Each structure stands twice: as C-alpha cells, then as structure tokens.
Amino acid sequence: MHDDRSLVEARLKRVLDERIRPAVYSASVPLDVAVWNAPGEPVPVAEGLAAEPSPISVGTRWGAPWGTSWFRVTGTVPAEWAGRTVEAVLDLGFDENMPGFQCEGLVYRPDGTPVKGLNPRNQWVRIAAPAEGGEQVRLHIEAASNPVILDYHPFLPTPLGDRETAGTEPQYRLSRMDLAVFEEDVWQLVMDLEVLGELMEELPADSARRWEILRAVDRALDAVDLQDVPGTAAAARARLERVLATPAQPSAHRISAVGHAHIDSAWLWPLRETVRKVARTASNMTALLEDEPDFVFAMSQAQQWAWVKEHRPEVWAKVKKAVADGRFVPAGGMWVESDTNMPGSEAMARQFVHGKRFFLDEFGIENDEAWLPDTFGFAAGLPQIIRAAGSRRLLTQKISWSQTNRFPHHTFQWEGIDGTRIFTHFPPVDTYNCSMKGSEIAHAARNFKDKGVARHSLAPTGWGDGGGGTTREMVAKAARMRDLEGAATVVWETPREFFTKAEAEYENPPVWVGELYLELHRATLTSQARTKRGNRRSEHLLREAELWAATAAVRTGFPYPYERLDRIWKTVLLHQFHDILPGSSIAWVHREAERTYAAVAEELNALVDAAQRALAGDGSAELVFNSAPHARHGVAAGGAARPTGGGAAHLQPREGGGYVLDNGLLRVEIDGRGLVVSVYDIGAERETVPPGEAANLLQLHPDFPNMWDAWDVDEFYRNTVTDLVEADLVEQSGPEGAAGPEGAVEPGAAAVRIVRSFGASEVRQVLSLAPGAKRLDIDTEVDWHETEKFLKLAFPLDVHAERYASETQFGHFHRATHTNTSWEAAKFEACNHRFVHIGEPDWGVALVNDSTYGHDVTRTVRTTDSGTTTTLRTSLLRAPRFPDPETDQGVHRFRHALAPGATIGDAVREGYRVNLPERRVTGADAVVAPLVAVDDDAVVVTAVKLADDGSGDVVVRFHESRGGRARARLTAGFPLAGALATDLLERPGAEDRTLERTGDTVSLDLRPFELVTLRLTRG
C-alpha cells in the first residue's frame, strides 16, 4: 500500500478548518445591539440593566482600558428556524488565543439572572432547543474591556497596567452579534475528528492503530459533502464509530480530569476585576454542569468563593445548589493560593484556618488536600502546617517549570523539616490549563515518572490564569477518551476521588525531603519591596494585636475584637496571593496594596495601643511592652515593665579614616568609605570579616532576564557587578540620623552615618552598636531611581561552612554553600524569613532583617592561607519594567543586624527583636505579667489569642525553633481549668498527645521543629 499518510493528514486539517468548523453554525441573522458605558468603576447589576444604552454596530471600536460596557442585544428567532437549536454568537472582539487575558463578559437575562460568561473560547449562549419561530430574544452583557498586558511580544513595558496611566483609547472592535442555528451533528463531527486527528499524531508512524484511524478519517471525509456539511455530517460520523468504539488497552494510563479554572486573585488585572472573573467562570461552570451529567468542577481559594457570595448573590445561589449536588467542589482549603516561601509561620497557618473554616461553615465540607498548582516553589515547613490543619495531601504543578533539573517523581511523599510527610501529586500533564488536546493527554502518559508501580494522574482541565474554566468542547473530548485505544483513559473525578485511588495503588511512594525549590521566578523574593515590607509589618502587628487584646481581655475585660481581627487577617492573607506578595502583578495591584497595608497598620496600631493602655492603667511611669517571644532588657516575653539598662558603647576616630565602635562585646571598624572592615568578637577573640575584605558592601548588577522580568533573575546577572565603595559622607551620627521612624538608634548607642550616591539614586545608612548588644545594627534608606538593576548588600564572613540555615515557617532549613551538583547550583537565589545563619561548630554569624527575603550565599578559598570565606548577600531592590514599568521607584527602608558569635537560638531571638520593636506606654508603676510563659527559649510562641469560637479560651501556638528536642513547661498567667492539644482550627482530638498538667502549668516534650497548638480553658 502506498504511504499517503501526509496527504490524508493535510486533507483533514484543511477540511476541518475551512469547511466543517465554519458549518457548525449554518444560518445566522444579526442581533440589534446597544451599549451603555459605565462611568468609572463597575456598577451594580441592577444599575447596568436599567441604564439606557445607545445603538452600536458590529465593527465599531469600544471599551476604554479597564472600562465596563453594558451591551443590550435583542432580536427575533426566524419562523423557519422552528424546531432547530438556536444560539446567540456574541463576539466582543475576542482573540481565541487569549482566554482570560483580554475582554470578557457576563450575560444576564432582563430580570438579572446570570446565564453564562463570555470569553475567547466561549462565545455562545443557548437560546432554545428546539426553538419556536418568532421567539423574542433579549440579553444583557456586562463586558469588561480589560487591556491585553501580556501580548504576542511579551514583557514589553506598558502603561496599561494602571487605570491612572492607561488612557481612554478603545481596546476592542465588536466582531459578531448574531442569532444562529447550531448544527449538533456538525459540532459532534468536529469533536470526533479533532480527537482522532490529535490521537493519530501522537501514535508511532508504524503503529497499526494510527493507520486504522487514518483510513477511517479518510473514509469519513469522503462522506462529507463540502457544499452541504450539515446534511452529510451524520453519515461521516457513522464511518468513525468503529475506531471510536475500540476500547483502551488494559495497561493504559488513567487520568482523573478535574474541571478547573485556576484564577489568579490578582495579576494582570486588579483585585476588583477578579471578583468579576470568578463570577463569570462560576456562571459558566454551573451552566455546564446542568448540560453535562458526568462533569465535575473544582474551585479553590475560599476568598474567591466569598467574593461570589458577597458581590454576586444570584451566581452564589447556583453555586450552592451545584455544591449540594456534589459536582461543584471546594478544593484546597486555603484562603488564597498563596505564595508559600515568604508568608510567616502564623500567616501560613491562618491561610488554612480561614480557608477550611469558610468551607466548613458554608457547606460542611472539609478538604483533605492543599491545592497549589501555580505557586512558585514550596517551603520546607509546609508539610506539618498542612497536617496540622487536618489535611494530608498536596497538589502542585509549577515545579514542571524548573529550568535546570527535572523533578524525579510525579507521585511521592514530601517530608518537611519536622519529619511530617504529605502525599503529593505533581500532574505529568505539565499544565494547570489542560484543554484535552491529544498532545496533552499523550504527554501525561509518556511523562509519568512512576510507571510500573502507579498509573493514575490528575489533569486540571479548563482555561485558567484569567479564568473561563472548562468548555463543552473539553467535556466532549474527554467523553471520547473515556475508553479509547491508543489514548490514556479519561474520567471526570473530584480531587478526593483521585487521591484515594492514587494512594491505594502506591503504598510505598518515594520520599522527597526538604523544600520543593522552583528553579525559576527567583526574583519574586525581591520585586516590589513595599509590598513585601507591608506584608512583614502586617504579620507582626497582627501578632501584637492578638497578644495584647487577649491579655487585656483576660486581665481587664477589654472587648476582644474578634470580627476586626478576622477581617484584617483575611485582608493580609489575600495579599499573600502568589502574584501579589511576590511582586509580579501590574502597578494597580501594588499601588492598592501599599494603601491597604497602611490602613491595616493604622488600625492594628490603634488596637494595640488601646489594649496596652487598658493593661498599663493610670499613672506617669514608663512601661516597656515586649511582644517578642523572648525576654529582653529585663522585660518578660509577652509582658511589660520598666526596662533595665546596662553597659555603654563608645565611638572614636579610626586611624586612616573612619570610626571604631566598641561596647565591650564587639569592636567594629568602619573605614573612610563607610565599609565595615572589621567586626571583632571580643569574648571569642574572633574576627568576622575576612582579611582584606569589607562588609556592608552595596553591589549593583545589571538585571535583564531572558523572560518574566518581575519574576526572574538569571544567573548571568552575576557576571557584571559594580561595588559601591565611594561615599559622599561618613560621619558620627546621633539618634536623629536613623533611617526612619522604626529605625531609631537605641539610647546610648554609638553610630556612624554614611551617604552614597550612584546613578540617579542615593543610599543613606546608619550603622550603630548599642550598649550590651552583640550585634551591629544597619539601617538603610534607599532613594531608588534605577532601571533594570539589582541591588545587593554583601557581608563576606571568615567562616568555613558547607551549609547554612535560613528561617522558614516554624523552624529553619539548611542549604549548601557549594555547587557540587546542578541541584545546588540552581539555588543561586533563595528565601529566608527573619534570619540567615552561617556557622562553624563553635562559632557562627547571623544576619537578621525586618523585610527582605531574597539572598545568596557563596564560598571561596583564599590563595594566601587556604582559609574559606563565605559571603552572604541580602537582596534589597530590583527595577524590572514588566508588568509594572515603575517597579520600586522611590524611597525604601530596610533594617538589618549582623550578629557575630550567634547560635541559631541567637538568630531566632535577634530576628524577632528587629521585627517586634518595644513599645513604650505611660501607666501605673507595675508589671504586666505575661498571659502565658514558656521556660525554654528554644520553644518559640508564635501566637497568643482568644479562641475563634468566642468561648474565652486562650489559644497558644508554639514550636521548637532550634532543630533539637525540648521539654517545655508552659505556665498560664490565669487560673487554668483545662488544657487540650488541638489542630490549627482549635478543634480537640486532632493530636494524639498526653499533656502533664500541674496547677496552672502544662508540661510536654517536643520533637525538632514540632508545632503545637494548645487550647487553655480559664478557671
């Protein structure tokens, strides 16, 4: 037989594109269209429906950037269409390659009932099946003219990312507004041919199955009359029945398809637009569920569900019904799909507390899984948080984006820093926007790394990022692949159904220990510094507000602000979404975030002040409130008292220029350039800075990654560096020389002020040594006006270390300082929370910070004496131009402290100190005793609050912080009637733990990094 494969395949493509697909709608008549453009921000549905529109014709441009236009379409079904299936085809000017990234619409009936969403891959609305001739049609479309930010030439700077700079030029051209006859047989033929054609392309050229499909397709095309496709589609389909009915091989890979629309809570659109994206998608999915009995849809992010409930009650009613039917499934159990690297311990816990509680309160549903397909890597502390929330599974996808190393598993146990293991699945389809293409399904089967011991994988199916969800085409294709020879089998299932099957077949999956590091998007640890500072500040203010409000409530009857704290927590958690906190959203998002964080700070500071004043009472004595989990200056952790002083710090000129700071613990030399050339640990007789090196060195790199400007920093940035060694000013400084209101020099400190200018920017620093402090405080203010540059602050250390520790949730994680393998080399930018610690067995150095996350650690060996130098650099600022062309321009403030001779315990303590400054309140000359006290500094309390159920119980969360065993005795500062270990949701029975209670003291043993939540009942 002659090889005519290429001929038939080319025939299939052309006939499908030019004849069969266009024949899906066989006849059409135009609708009458009118439009009303809402002024300013979106208006309520009732207002949009009631507005008086003006006529507009197809071909007319419409829609200023970020505008809302209400279209009214009216028409009459022609009499001759009686008995046919009629749909409205509503094309707002879509580009089918950009679902979720351009204009969108939500269709309403005149009474305000939502019908379905419109997007580039979903342009139809069913009118009648069968239709009655003469039927009147009237629909309203709330259309959003969201501009295209990520265009065909991606990553170009654009002013369209903020309404304030986007202008008013119309973005779209109205393309089609018709009533049309929908030809069911033709549409089904398209689905048949697409599935078979795509399957054929994936089969080996010498496969008998491929040739069988080829011949069947050829015969089917012979049956199509190209001048009467609707009249001959059924005959063509008949010739495909046999090849479509051939069952899959018993060994075929098995795919659980989960209807999905990963919707970024903000990204290339503002938060307010996501509210509408979710409503459009939910409307689409509830409509599809009504039409497709096998289809199942899962939606994560409790915040998005809450938006539908609050802003679109008419959509919420449909969603609730679909949830009750078990087919619209809450997934993930988190408030948002957050970043997991940067949120602090308590914030990461609250993501699950607020997310799971929403689904429990609204539907009585508790999720077993964390659902984070698009998050940019996963911190090593996350497994025990998931488990402590009552979940035990994780799904992610983004690891497939890693540039250097291929992750070795698709189904595995992920082990965190405390030893907790979570059953984890990483779908081999390698997308969270699966569209049921044959290439995607074949890739999932080929790519699956656990063949031979497992055969199930999951495919999140539907248009996401900007929303839209699953389409009827995806459902039709999945139906054909339910049992089809040559393809993986596809079945619609819930996440729980998938995980149950996967766990049952894979009893001993491999184990991955430590972080799931994404070898991409590393610059998200630095971009948009104000957003990151706002997050860090908010997390610590919430800690203070809960601690002092709970203490005041128990001691004075102060009204505990349950609702306010709940609302503020949800606001902070929302802004930890994986395109907000990482700094990868448009300017509008980060401008709003800065204002939101300022409002959060104002409200929380007022709350803290009110609670502390209630505790302090009346009087003129100055009390210092210590919110940190460690005693300092004679004030107990979580208590208040008059502080005790001690020691002195001295400053004197340095020979050769500069100054020497000395407080009896450290002697610091700052040369005439403002660089730190010596930090001598007097007690240990140990120098911190290597010979001939200088610390506090600002370094500037060019920063123009190959792609993903705000997200990425590529390793070649290191090839070029400018050391900023010239100083405009180096002088003795007093308290007024500090870098900002939160960076005041401590009383009695010796301080030096440094000013540097470079490019269009200026840096002002204050380096200070406080009495009795074994640390050098560094306050930095940068007036930043660079473009595509990366600013680092470097600390060469005379330390020999093959690994170092950086803080993560509820503990710390070790990374290598070397690059022995590609896995270590790929971690050239990594995340820390409050500290990084580098040490030898008997001596180490910590660098703590108040708002930075990105850092790098490298090591070299000196040629003179073979001594190892380990250089730690903290990342301060970047200046990418996409998606926000003005990223980070302006003034920024950072606080760091270098602590020579520090242990891990010292690093933990100093990290809290720099983030939780003492507060001074005038009151009675008395001591405010802590509400709870722990006798072991290794055990760190992360939250003290009243129970969320309003019972008045005190909830305390703590963990072992140093990576060792601990025996902790927690003493309540109130009569204790009972104590119970709970899960994060404060529910009893979640922990199999025996507590020893003697009076008001509870004793317990902790494993390394173990997280514990205790619920204390007051007597």
Residue 744, pLDDT score: 64
In 3D, which of 384, 330, 317 has the Cα closest to residue 360? 330
Read off the pLDDT of residues 15-67 as tens digits, 9 standing for 90 and up.
Answer: 999 999 999 999 999 999 999 999 999 999 999 999 999 999 999 999 999 99
Residue 741, pLDDT score: 37
pLDDT band at 416 (very low <50, low <70, confident <90, very high): very high
Spatial separation of the C-alpha atoms in residues 115 and 87, rounded to whole Å: 13
Contacts of residue 685, Cβ cutoff 8 Å, sequence gap at least 6: none
- What's the per-residue H, E or C state across 42-78? CCCHHHHHHCCCEECCCCCEECCCCEEEEEEEEEECC
Mean pLDDT within 448-476: 96
pLDDT band at 735 (very low <50, low <70, confident <90, very high): low
In 3D, which of 172, 195, 191 has the Cα closest to residue 183? 191
Spatial separation of the C-alpha atoms in residues 200 and 826, rounded to whole Å: 38
Contacts of residue 418, Cβ cutoff 8 Å, sequence gap at least 6: 381, 383, 384, 810, 811, 1007, 1008, 1009, 1010, 1011
Q: Does residue 883 have a cis peptide bond before it, meaning omega lies within 30 degrees of 0?
A: yes
Identify the three-state secondary structure at position 955: strand
Q: Is pLDDT at 990 greater than 60 in this prediction?
A: no
Contact between 660 and 654 under an 8 Å Cβ cutoff? The reply is: yes
Q: Is pLDDT at 738 greater than 60 in this prediction?
A: no
Which two three-digit tokens encode residue 136?
């009147």
Maximum CA extent, the chain: 103
Mean pLDDT within 463-476: 95
Q: Which residue has the tokens 């969320």?
A: 948
Contact between 546 and 944 under an 8 Å Cβ cutoff? The reply is: yes
Q: Which residue has the tokens 């503002």?
A: 270
In 3D, which of 281, 300, 382 has the Cα closest to residue 340? 382
Read off the pLDDT of residues 879-900 as tens digits, 9 standing for 90 and up.
Answer: 999 999 999 999 999 999 999 9
3-state SS of the chain: helix, strand, coil percent to 5?
30, 30, 40
Residue 939, pLDDT score: 98
Spatial separation of the C-alpha atoms in residues 470 and 433, rounded to whole Å: 9
Q: Give percent of the chain above pLDDT 70.
A: 98
Q: Is pLDDT at 645 greater than 80 in this prediction?
A: no
Read off the pLDDT of residues 44-54 as tens digits, 9 standing for 90 and up.
Answer: 999 999 999 99
Q: Is pLDDT at 739 greater than 80 in this prediction?
A: no
Phi, psi angle pair for 729, to nearest 5°? -160, 130
Residue 737, pLDDT score: 45
- What is each CA distance from 511 to 112, 416, 516, in whole angstroms? 52, 10, 12
Mean pLDDT within 823-839: 98
Q: Give percent of the chain above pLDDT 90.
A: 95
Contact between 620 and 926 under an 8 Å Cβ cutoff? The reply is: no
Chain centroid to CA 909 = 28
Read off the pLDDT of residues 926-968 as tens digits, 9 standing for 90 and up.
Answer: 899 999 999 999 999 999 999 999 999 999 999 999 999 999 9
Which residues are identified as catalytic? 374
Chain centroid to CA 679 = 39
Ranges 75-89, 370-384, 561-575, 735-749: which has the least confidence? 735-749
Higher pLDDT, 738 or 813: 813
Mean pLDDT within 985-1000: 83
Which two three-digit tokens encode residue 288?
């599809």
Instruction: Write down the mean pLDDT value for the chain.
Output: 96
pLDDT band at 863 (very low <50, low <70, confident <90, very high): confident
Mean pLDDT within 440-467: 96
Spatial separation of the C-alpha atoms in residues 765 and 773, rounded to whole Å: 19
Read off the pLDDT of residues 482-529 as tens digits, 9 standing for 90 and up.
Answer: 999 999 999 999 999 999 999 999 999 999 999 999 999 999 999 999
Read off the pLDDT of residues 713-732 as tens digits, 9 standing for 90 and up.
Answer: 999 999 999 999 999 999 99
Residue 133, pLDDT score: 87
| DSSP state for residue 905 in the 8-state scheme | H
Length of the chain: 1019
Contact between 142 and 37 under an 8 Å Cβ cutoff? The reply is: no
C-alpha dihedral, 616 to 618 to 623 to 627, nearest 10°: 20
Phi, psi angle pair for 89, to nearest 5°? -105, 115
- What is each CA distance from 251 to 34, 248, 452, in whole angstroms? 56, 8, 10
Mean pLDDT within 671-697: 97
Read off the pLDDT of residues 419-437 as tens digits, 9 standing for 90 and up.
Answer: 999 999 999 999 999 999 9
Which two three-digit tokens encode residue 502?
């996967």
Helix axes 345-363, 529-556, angle to 10 degrees: 70
Whether the model pTM is above 0.85:
yes
Spatial separation of the C-alpha atoms in residues 858 and 816, rounded to whole Å: 9
Identify the three-state secondary structure at position 784: strand
pLDDT band at 1 (very low <50, low <70, confident <90, very high): low
pLDDT band at 991 (very low <50, low <70, confident <90, very high): low
Spatial separation of the C-alpha atoms in residues 562 and 553, rounded to whole Å: 11
* H and E: helices and strands count for the chain: 19, 53
- What's the per-residue H, E or C state across 235-301? HHHHCCHHHHHCCCCCCCCEEEEEECCCECCCCCCCHHHHHHHHHHHHHHHHHHHHHCCCCCEEECC
Residue 866, pLDDT score: 83
